[in-house]
Every structure is written in structure tokens, then in C-alpha cells.
């Protein structure tokens, strides 16, 4: 029986790594392409702030081809949706019928993804869906994955958390209102070693930077944008 042609939405972080690991090992949805959203202005992975060079090294270590969705500095939802629809049309023409995601429990995000892809007859796969996030992060560590925190929400975590490797001490230090996997966007990570990779990705930890952004909204929305503060840790590729 022919298996469905599947691509994976690759964020470079720990949840994406664990989800891709499961898809590749369960073999029902063999992934043969990674898709990553990149801020073309800064030449970094969107939201995570990871340098493009490290993204490239990471996917080379995984051994799958990468396609990037290139976005301007501060894209509106309209711009994002238009560019994504163009990419989805290309993927459909290439024969893709399924897409993998690392989401765990955000119902509105899953609904958004499924609705967006439904018009292209592409089905979504969520291998981590509704699993306990504390169990997932321990599975991640037990499998030998390693990840470093590269972005945090400043209103939930102080700057000491950014630049730390995910380990038992990190998990113990997290406040009670922060999900162990950061599933509510509390923190984002860069996965640099583990069973997905043919070699570790080498880097040096650089400076910490604080930035504020307006929350994304539809241009037709008349509500005032809210500024959100984030701490980023720059990783410098070797």
C-alpha cells in the first residue's frame, strides 16, 4: 500500500523534533520534506530568532530537504496567509497529501491549521496530540535529545532562563504557571542533538537581547495591538 506523501512543519525546537521522530519511526507518514518559516529581513527563523545558518546545519544533520516560507520583518496575518497559501498550492502540486505538526493541546491552533490545509485537501498529523507535556519532555530527554532555550516570554520568565539547556534542573526551576513544554508560547528552543541527527550541531552561546513586538492581528481588526516582550539568546554557528 502506497504511503501518503508527507511534509513536516519544522520549527527547529524540541516538540517538532520529538513529533518528527515519532512520525519517522511509526512509518505511517514518512516525512520527506521540512517546511520552516523564516523572517527574511533578519535572516532568522520566525519567533525563535535562530540564525538561518544553524537551521541549515540542523536540517542537513537530519538529512531531509528544506523549503522556507520567507516573510517580511513584521508581516500582517493577511501577508502570512497569502504567502502560506502560495506555498500550500506548490506542495499540493508536488503531490503532498499530509502535513505533520508538533502541536500538543492548543485547540484553536489545530483548528486553524486544519481549516487552512483543508482547502488544499491536505490532512494534518499531530503525533504528540493530547499527550501529557511533563511525560513528553521526559521522553525527549530520555531519548537523548538536547535543546537550548533561545526565546522566552518576558512576562512569564526572567532572562536567566534564556540560554539554558533543557534538563531536570531547568524543569524544576520553571514556575508553576509555565507549561513544561512551553506549549503556550512561554519559551522556544533549538534542538541540537539526538536520535534524529547524524551529528550534533555546534554553536557558541552569544548575547541576550530583549525585544518587543506588536501581537499579530488581521488588518481589518480595529482593536489596538498589544506589545509583547521577549528575551532572545543568540546562537553563533561554528
Residue matched to cell numbers 525563535 = 48
Q: Is the pLDDT of residue 113 over 80?
A: yes
The CA distance from 168 to 174, in Å, is 10
Q: What pTM does this model have? A: 0.93
Q: How would CATH label the architecture of 6-237?
A: 3-Layer(aba) Sandwich (3.40)
Q: Is the pLDDT of residue 123 over 60?
A: yes
pLDDT in tens, 27-70: 899 999 999 999 999 999 998 999 999 999 999 999 999 999 99
* Backbone conformation region of residue 121, classed left if phi is above 0, alpha if psi is from -120 to 50, else beta: left
Per DSSP, what are the bridge partners of residue 205? 235
What pLDDT sits at residue 214?
76
What pLDDT sits at residue 199?
98
CA 106 to chain centre: 14
pLDDT in tens, 149-206: 999 999 999 999 999 999 999 999 999 999 999 999 999 999 999 999 999 999 999 9
Confidence of residue 225 (pLDDT cuts 50, 70, 90): low
How many helices (H) and strands (E) would you count in the chain?
6, 10
Give me 214's grid cell. Answer: 506588536
Q: Is the pLDDT of residue 218 over 50?
A: no
The CA distance from 140 to 79, in Å, is 34
Identify whether the C-beta of residue 54 lies closer than 8 Å to the C-beta of residue 189. Answer: no
What pLDDT sits at residue 213?
81
Domain boundaries, the chain: 6-237
Q: Hey, is 237 helix, strand or coil?
A: strand
pLDDT in tens, 60-96: 999 999 999 999 998 999 999 999 999 999 999 999 9
Nearest residue to 163 via CA among 180, 182, 149: 149
DSSP H stretches of helix in 165-219: 168-173
What pLDDT sits at residue 88?
97
Q: Kindly state the average pLDDT of the residues 12-37.
A: 96
Amino acid at each position: 500500500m502506497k504511503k501518503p506523501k508527507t511534509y513536516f512543519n519544522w520549527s527547529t525546537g524540541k516538540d517538532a523534533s520529538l513529533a518528527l521522530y515519532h512520525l519517522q519511526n511509526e512509518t505511517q507518514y514518512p516525512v520527506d520534506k521540512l517546511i520552516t518559516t523564516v523572517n527574511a529581513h533578519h535572516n532568522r527563523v520566525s519567533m525563535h530568532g535562530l540564525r538561518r545558518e544553524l537551521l541549515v546545519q540542523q536540517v542537513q544533520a537530519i538529512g531531509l530537504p528544506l523549503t522556507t516560507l520567507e516573510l517580511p520583518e513584521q508581516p500582517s496575518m493577511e501577508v502570512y496567509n497569502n504567502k502560506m497559501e502560495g506555498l500550500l498550492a506548490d506542495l499540493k502540486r508536488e503531490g503532498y497529501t499530509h502535513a505533520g505538526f508538533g502541536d500538543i493541546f492548543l485547540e484553536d491552533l489545530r483548528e486553524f491549521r486544519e481549516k487552512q490545509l483543508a482547502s488544499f485537501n491536505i490532512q494534518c498529523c499531530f503525533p504528540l496530540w493530547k499527550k501529557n507535556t511533563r511525560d513528553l519532555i521526559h521522553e525527549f530527554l530520555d531519548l537523548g535529545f538536547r535543546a537550548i532555550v533561545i526565546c522566552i516570554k518576558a512576562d512569564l520568565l526572567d532572562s536567566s532562563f534564556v540560554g539554558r539547556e533543557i534538563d531536570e534542573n531547568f524543569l524544576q526551576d520553571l514556575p508553576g504557571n509555565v507549561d513544561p513544554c512551553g506549549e503556550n508560547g512561554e519559551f522556544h528552543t533549538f534542538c541540537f542533538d539526538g536520535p534524529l541527527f547524524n551529528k550534533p550541531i555546534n554553536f557558541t552561546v552569544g548575547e541576550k537581547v530583549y525585544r518587543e513586538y506588536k501581537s499579530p492581528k488581521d488588518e481589518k481588526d480595529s482593536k489596538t495591538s498589544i506589545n509583547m516582550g521577549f528575551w532572545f539568546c543568540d546562537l553563533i554557528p561554528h
